[in-house]
Amino acid sequence: MIRVALQMLVGDRLKYLGLIVGIAFASLLISQQASILVGLAHQTGSFVRDTSHADLWVMDSEVRFSQDSLSLSDNTLLRVRGIEGVQWAVPLYQGFLKAKLPDGTRMTAIVIGLDDATLIGGPPEMVQGSLADLRQDKAVIVDYNALESKFMMKRSGGRPIRVGDNLSINDQDARLVGTYRASQSFFWEPVIYTTYSRALQYAPRERKLMTYVMVKLKPDADVAKVAASIEAATGLKARTNDEFIALTRDYILKETGILINFGLAVGLGFIVGTLIAGQMLYNFTLDNLRHYGALKAMGAGNGTLVIMNLIQALTVGVLGYGIGLGLGSLLGQLVASAGLAFRMPWQVPVLCGVAILIICLIASALSITRVLKLEPAIVFKGG
């Protein structure tokens, strides 16, 4: 019966290919949109992931995401260093400041100030110069990947800034001494690194300027206990890298509407796939009612016919799923090469596969009802 079911399926080439195309389109839409959503969610934690030198981040309890700069008092650093289990603790400044390129092009940049002595928290990879160059007078470094876009001097022939160029941050002089390469970030503002003391000079005058305290624990220290001790001693919040990344991801997904938008796209793929597959499989079943009637007349039971119909649906489902997933991966690579978000962990193909399976089951259930109600005598009626 399995062979008969497959022969019936491929006998009508047009409907057979139409079923595969419908399922493939649903698989493509679901897998691609889900992967873009995962890619965007992954990008939200790029700053924390690239700055993962520490075990704990000490911050104001009202911080909602990694670029949410709520300042701490200077004595927080000394209090954290006095907690048992802390190996070292360093300050980190982060703020949105006005910057101006040599030709007068203005922008808002995220300025990161690293501990002067250790430079802990710097970018993961230097392209030009070294991190130690930040100790030079007025030194800053910028993202190499952003040179052709965010650091482009539009008023002087369109060239990007170069190492050795002077720029200004908050109307104070700065000099580019190097470039770095970081992970693709969800946030679009350009990022400029300098030393902590210099960042405080660039920042507007406020009573509290330190944004985070980065904490490294001793090898035998318990992370949860040290975090609880820090919170009890300072009244602040101590989060691990993973917790900070999750906090940022959840806030961005909920507050920006990204989750809803891409969720609707994935849902649309599911609905479209169900409608196309259901309608085409139903029409395919109607066209083959005489064959099903002949099988019933020869003694085939309803259970056998249900299995045959299910095999037909699952066959086009597997083929369409594979084609759609492959096209989704290929298009995703093209999207990623253009700098857009795309990330396909194993959960995405599994989610897509489950969705396609449900689509096939629904389509099969819609079409098999006519077969179950079919009278075998229809095969003896005239055409």
The average pLDDT across 336-343 equals 75
pLDDT at 8: 67
Q: What is the pTM of this model?
A: 0.78
CA dist., res. 221 & res. 238, Å (int): 15
**pLDDT at position 235 over 80:** yes
Q: Where are the domains of the chain?
A: 2-43+257-380, 56-239
pLDDT tens digits, one per residue of 139-167 = 999 998 888 788 887 766 678 888 889 99
Tokens of 331: 């298009």
What is residue 231's predicted lDDT score, i.e. its pLDDT?
93
Q: Looking at the predicted structure, is the pLDDT value of residue 110 above 60?
A: yes
The pairing of beta strand 172-181 with beta strand 56-59: unpaired
The pLDDT of residue 228 = 94
Do the Cβ atoms of 6 and 312 come closer than 8 Å?
A: yes
Pairing of strands 86-100, 166-169: antiparallel
- Of 22, 18, 31, the C-alpha closest to 330 is 31
Q: What is the pLDDT of residue 383?
A: 47
Residue 137: its pLDDT value, please? Answer: 92
Q: What per-residue confidence (pLDDT) applies to 1?
A: 62
pLDDT above 90 (res 237): yes
Cα distance between residue 221 and residue 287, in whole Å: 71
371 Cβ neighbours under 8 A, 6+ residues apart: 285, 289, 292, 302, 305, 306, 309
Predicted local distance difference test score (pLDDT) of residue 154: 74
Residue 212 backbone phi and psi in degrees, to 5: -135, 160
Among the residue ranges 9-18, 33-42, 196-205, the one predicted with the least confidence is 9-18
Mean per-residue pLDDT for 228-257?
Answer: 90
d(CA 362, CA 121): 52
* 195 phi and psi angles, rounded to 5 deg: -85, 160
According to the model, what pLDDT value does residue 377 have? 60
| Cα dihedral: 209, 213, 214, 217 (round 10) | 160
For residues 91 and 153, which has the higher predicted lDDT (pLDDT)? 91
pLDDT of residue 156: 60
